[in-house]
Structure 1
Amino acid sequence: MCFNASVSFTAGAVIGAVGLLTLKKSKGASQTLFASIPFIFAVQQITEGFLWLVLKHQEYLQWQQMLTVIFIVFAQIVWPFWVPLSIMLMEKNKKRKTILKILFFIGLGSSLFGAYRLLFHPVTAIIEEHHIKYVFNFSGMILSFTPLLYILPTIISLFISSVKKMLLLGILILISVVATEYFFHAYLLSVWCCFAAVISGVIFWIIKSSDVNLKTDQS
């Protein structure tokens, strides 16, 4: 299985359209952050699509670092705090909301660490075995804990939520990360983000279901 600019652009276009429909379907400020996830994923995938083109054409290499940084900002800085925060805003169960708040602060810490690493330890992107590989110039014991600090807010939050059908999204995302880690370990960041972007289309269904439930409760 390989990836390329066409895959990134196609995923970005399809998920972008779904993202706009999801935002249009969302009701109230409590759903806006969560409903915007597919559209943000679309921007992230389109960014990587351009990065593919830049890496394959030497005359555009001046754009490589900027596109790499933009992708990493989405992948490692935005998602760790955005996902638990967006789910927390939708949560009505007080105990679950408290747990989600804790996961949000864990995610915020992960995001701050990601920002620090990006600012002081440059990351480069290369094409290897038909995949984009992101190479980080950083080492240390803390790296042993970063996967956990990332997974807790971005994946476990989905299992904590009481929102209808959120569990399905959590299961799909968990399966995707396990499969990507097993089959594409060296390219986890790029490949999993692509899978997660496609899976985020489920959010439209979740928002639509929430809208139906809201109308039912009001009738």
Structure 2
Amino acid sequence: MGLQQERAIRTRRRMLKAAAELFDREDYASARLSDISARANMSTGALHFHFANKEELAQAVVSEARAVLWRAARLAYEKNSDPLQALTDISHTLGQLLSWDVVSRAGLRLDNDRSRKGQEQFIRAWHACVQRLLDRARREGSLAPHVQLRSITCAVVAATTGIGVLIKGGEGDRIRLALTGFWQGFLPGLAAPDMLGDLNPGGTDVVDHVMRASRYLPIDGDDALGAQAAASGRT
């Protein structure tokens, strides 16, 4: 990679972070490109060289967030052999990442912002991921026989997404506590009785492993899209 290309990548990332910080602090409608460019320490003209308008910039933040979140989700999935523990660990991983990474946090909110006609792609992909893991749990006998997959999938998605949307920066401990409480109340009605003792509602060491990896590993867009497709059952 040449020096000019590296500089362009760093500049783009600086713009995305500045935009995410403003979108995280204000809503999409209130955020102004002039404020974003000032936060990135560059001119509005330089910002327009990379992004035609605010919507294009917001979509870039959403795409970056989706790549980061689904890379982390895939890593957590690959480290778990039990689908219910995988589901628990993925939710904790995403909660920690949303607390730590402003781009992921802003991207999730922008994706669900009705003022910009967000496409809710993350929620739809998360719904498919939850459904796939619960389907697998049923096939493997770790799901309680009375569980109705459709209603339980909706409940898990609603609860975890609701917690995710409310996350603020630096609230990792509080978010882990909230998700632990959710799984402590939810897993006893979800798991087969002989499986419950093997599940950790607070998440396993997989969560910390993935968070360390997410801080230092570069995100590849194609790889992240593959992760999203795998999570939603399309690969």
Q: TM-score range by the shorter chain?
A: 0.3 to 0.5
Q: TM-score, normalised by structure 2?
A: 0.32
Normalized per residue, the structure richer in helix is 1
Asked which structure has the greater CA Rg, the reply is: 2
Q: TM-score, normalised by structure 1?
A: 0.33
Normalized per residue, the structure richer in strand is 1
